Structure 1
Amino acid sequence: MSVELFEHPALTSAASSLASLREAAGRIGAPDPVAALRHLDCSPAAIRASASAVDAGALGVTSAQAEFRGGVERAETGGSAETFGTWADTVDGQYAAAARAAAATAALGARLAAELDELAVSASAEVCELAAAASPSTAAVLSGDRSAEVVSAVSTACASVVRVIQRRVSSLSALAAELEPLTAPAVELS
């Protein structure tokens, strides 16, 4: 029996723990508990790396803004026209808005990664407990026992795994709502 790999290592471990339950489920026509895990698969490490890259970009924008502001101040003291100052203030504001948006995005990404990591780890622990509790019935089904009691216990365990995953997936809607503002441009360039 091969181990199914997931992006999140806790889910790979859970899939391994659910392997016998999965095999028993297949024999009696119960829901596949390992397939349910796919709905929670994620890579918090990749999200953290992206958030770090955005954060580094925010620092670059802040540095560019400071250089720009210094150049504007030099130009304004040299007797430049008033319209230049107005334009420069607009551009400076856009730099500031872009830097704030990038920093907020990076912070959200880091928090999102942490929450997804915790979600995958806790769901994995919960479904492993369900599989362990059904282990005697799972072994019985795998040895050919089709009594109502063991078939019901395996079916119940599989359905419980699916419900755990469904509950955890539904909790992601709050995180998705926090991502909505990121779909619009952070700064409208003039």
Structure 2
Amino acid sequence: MTSPVFEHPALTAAAGRLAPLRAAAGRIGAPDPVAALRHLDCSPSSISSSASAVDAGALLVKSASAEFRNGVEHAETGGSAETFGIWADTVDGQYAAAARAAATTAAVGVRIAAQLDELAVSASTEVCALADSASAAVAAVLADDRSAEVVSTVSTACAAVVRTVSAKIASLSSLVAELEPLTAPAVELS
């Protein structure tokens, strides 16, 4: 049986170590511990790459803003400098706001990627320890032992894996709170 592949390498490794527990769970009708891991799958490296791209975009906007400001200063020395200056200040403020919003978004992306990575690694460590603690009972079930003690041990380990994953998922609410301010447009262009 091929071990499932996850986006996060720690979860792929954990799925491989949970394979015997998964097989035993299937024989006794317990929850699939590997399926539970799917709820935590993520790709922090992709999020980090996206955050870097947003940060690079912020730098470009900041550079464009500086070029724009230089052009405004040059143009304000001409005829209708007051009207042009007011308009230019508005646009310049929008450039600055867009650059700040992009930098903030990039910083949040980096934090989220790090937190998701830590979450996946810690969950993997915890569920592997749970599987290891039930290994004797798993081997017994796989050898067709259906005694109450071994079935209970395997079922308990599977339920503990599901609870561990659920607790990790619940901890993601802090990430949602960080993302909430980013759902509104950062700049309203005039």
User: Could you tell me the TM-score, scaled by structure 1's length?
Assistant: 0.99
Whole-angstrom CA distance in 2 between matches of 1:48 and 1:11: 18
| Residue 159 (structure 1) aligns with | 159
| Residue 89 (structure 2) aligns with | 89
Whole-angstrom CA distance in 2 between matches of 1:118 and 1:161: 17
The structural deviation recorded for 1:80 is 2.9
The structural deviation recorded for 1:14 is 0.3
Whole-angstrom CA distance in 2 between matches of 1:186 and 1:80: 30
1:110 aligns with 2:138: no
Residues 8-55 of structure 1, C-alpha deviations (whole Å, 9 max, x = no match): 000000000000000000000000000000000000000000000000
Contact preservation (8 Å) 2:75, 2:81: no
Whole-angstrom CA distance in 2 between matches of 1:14 and 1:80: 68
1:187 aligns with 2:183: no
Residues 65-93 of structure 1, C-alpha deviations (whole Å, 9 max, x = no match): 00000000000122333111100000000
| Residue 54 (structure 2) aligns with | 54
Whole-angstrom CA distance in 2 between matches of 1:21 and 1:109: 35
For structure 2, the 5+ residue unaligned runs are: none
| Residue 63 (structure 1) aligns with | 63
* Count of residues in correspondence between the two structures: 190
Whole-angstrom CA distance in 1 between matches of 2:176 and 2:121: 19
The structural deviation recorded for 1:103 is 0.2
For 1:69, give the aligned amino acid.
R
| Residue 127 (structure 1) aligns with | 127
Whole-angstrom CA distance in 2 between matches of 1:27 and 1:4: 19
Whole-angstrom CA distance in 2 between matches of 1:80 and 1:123: 64
Whole-angstrom CA distance in 1 between matches of 2:81 and 2:29: 79
For structure 1, the 5+ residue unaligned runs are: none
Whole-angstrom CA distance in 2 between matches of 1:61 and 1:81: 24
Whole-angstrom CA distance in 2 between matches of 1:81 and 1:73: 9
Whole-angstrom CA distance in 2 between matches of 1:178 and 1:121: 21
Residues 112-158 of structure 1, C-alpha deviations (whole Å, 9 max, x = no match): 00000000000000000000000000000000100000000000000
Q: Percent identity?
A: 77
Q: Alpha carbon RMSD of aligned pairs, Å?
A: 0.6
Whole-angstrom CA distance in 2 between matches of 1:181 and 1:42: 22
Whole-angstrom CA distance in 2 between matches of 1:21 and 1:40: 18
1:80 aligns with 2:80: yes
Whole-angstrom CA distance in 1 between matches of 2:14 and 2:79: 69
Divergent runs of 4+, >6 A: none
